[in-house]
Homo-oligomer: A and B are copies of this chain.
Amino acid sequence: MLERLHEHGFDDLDAAHLLVFQYPGPHDTRPSELAARLRISKQALGYLLGQLEQLGYLERRPDPNDQRGKRILVARRGKRAIRVIREAVAEVETEWTQRLGAKRFTQLRQLLLDLNEQA
């Protein structure tokens, strides 16, 4: 992912930032909630969000419903980056399909989905 991102001009991202973009992404979530989901401290997330905001990938706006909190909005640059990430994933899936064959790849995918579902 990082390689593809750098190739597409998002070379100001590094490995730590990928955590924030991890599915389903940070859009419209509160920093506290996201930190809990990613299992890092609120401070650590704040540090990463500060960088990503500075680089134009997202914004932090006051939460209209709670004057203590904020909400994360993915900006245009962030959405473009997410698209590149999706393309990278699709690329891997294509390669695996070639290696295993379409039928067995589908099997693998379904097994992993089942495994994850009950977790």
Chain A residues proximal to chain B, CB less than 8 Å: 96, 99-100, 104, 107-108, 111-112, 114-115, 118
B115 touches A108 (CB 8 A): yes
Whether A111 lies near B114 (C-beta < 8 A) is no
User: For A112, what are the chain B residues with a Cβ–Cβ distance below 8 Å?
Assistant: 108
Q: Chain B residues near A100 (CB, 8 Å)? A: 111, 114-115
Question: In the complex, what residues of B have CB within 8 A of residue A114's CB?
Answer: 99-100, 104
A118 neighbours in B (Cβ, 8 Å): 99
Q: Is the CB of B108 within 8 A of A104?
A: no
The 5 closest A-B pairs by CB, nearest first: A108-B111, A99-B118, A104-B111, A99-B115, A96-B115
For the complex, what is the distance from the CA of A62 to the CA of B17, rounded to whole Å?
42
